[in-house]
Structure 1
């Protein structure tokens, strides 16, 4: 079963958009910080990915992604890749993700694929898909379909 890795900020939360995009809502989740953006339709997309592979959070939110964000979408908690304490350099996601993925096929959905992440993907022998998200737009249905089509083409 492939491992599917999902970032939150810049992917589900299009923080770089100049205003709240259509179909999104905003809610303050962290006291003293700005509002986070979320789209309720993403709950169904997350469920689709969870049915297609082993879906993990790969986000600096850690368990807060399950406790604060997923309830807005009506989705059950996901396993969490253990990342360094925030703030951390984005390339430090790579060793933690590698430890979770091992030698299984992996698709990684993120808004900040670093050179270290691309090198990791290129050097793997298992099928690997990096899905780059524009943080001003966020996750789209086409991104979900790309991953689902990739999973469907994996050897069984």
Structure 2
């Protein structure tokens, strides 16, 4: 969750850009480029967003990162619970860390019922993705490897 859309104003360290004319600005943080690069080096990183391929087309160039694979969700708008089948298909039986601003009860049940280790990382939509969120995933991955 790169875009802290619920913040009343643009948070420190973020920039605003109108990706979709007439819809108002989206927020992004240049620091996220390094964090995304770290996570991609540590595992199989994918965009899992309703933006779909637009995440690569819009955020990728702003952050200067290469395109990432995209988890395909139903067409917008869709209930957040409908993310679960797409995430489940994308991760298969591998360990998975899922970073999201709207983990649902369906997602928590899916994570709890998996045989593979699963970490859900909730993001506050008024704050956005933070370095402690990244560090939590990296520490979790290191624990799996050790």
TM-score of the superposed pair, with normalisation by structure 1: 0.92
In 1, distance between residues paired with 2:5 and 2:19? 14
What residue is the counterpart of 2:52 in the other structure? 62
For residues 17-53 of structure 1, give each alpha carbon's deviation from its aligned partner in whole angstroms, at most 9, with x where no partner exists.
0100011110000021110001001000000000000
Offset at residue 67 of structure 1 (A) = 0.3
For residues 33-88 of structure 1, give each alpha carbon's deviation from its aligned partner in whole angstroms, at most 9, with x where no partner exists.
11000100100000000000000111000000000111111110100001000110
Moved more, 109-118 or 67-76: 67-76
What residue is the counterpart of 2:85 in the other structure? 95
TM-score of the superposed pair, with normalisation by structure 2: 0.98
In 1, distance between residues paired with 2:145 and 2:12? 38
Superposed, 1:8-27 pairs within 5 Å as 11-27=1-17
Runs of 4+ in 1 over 3 A off after TM superposition: none
Give the gaps of 5 or more residues in structure 2: none
In 2, distance between residues paired with 1:77 and 1:90? 24
Offset at residue 155 of structure 1 (A) = 4.1
Mapped pair 1:137 → 2:127: yes
Aligned pairs, number: 146
Which of 64, 70, 80 is equivalent to 2:70? Answer: 80
Name the SS for the 1:154 alignment partner. Answer: helix
